[in-house]
Amino acid sequence: MKYFKSLLLPIIVLVIGITASCERDDICPESTPTTPSLIISTFDVNEQDSKKNVFGLRIQGVGIDEVLTSYNVVTNDSLVLPLDTTTNISQYKLHSNYTYDDNDTPEDMSDDIIGGNQDIIIITYTREEVYVSRACGYKTIFNDVEVVIEDDGDNWIQLIQSINNPQSVEDERAAHFNLFH
Give per-residue pLDDT as tens, 117-145: 999 999 999 999 999 988 899 999 999 99
pLDDT in tens, 93-115: 999 999 998 888 888 888 888 89
Q: What is the pLDDT of residue 25?
A: 56
Q: Is residue 55 part of a domain?
A: yes
Note down the domain range covering 122: 30-180
Q: Is residue 106 part of a domain?
A: yes
Q: What is the pLDDT of residue 57?
A: 97
Q: What global pTM score does this model have?
A: 0.81
Q: Is residue 10 part of a domain?
A: no
Domain count of the fold of the chain: 1
Q: Is residue 122 part of a domain?
A: yes
Q: Is residue 118 part of a domain?
A: yes
How far, in Å, CA of 88 to CA of 103, rounded? 40
When pLDDT is cut at 50, 70 and 90, the band that residue 62 belongs to is: very high
89 DSSP β-pair partners: 124
Q: What is the mean pLDDT of residues 44-66?
A: 95
Indicate the pairing of strand 38-43 with strand 177-180. Answer: parallel
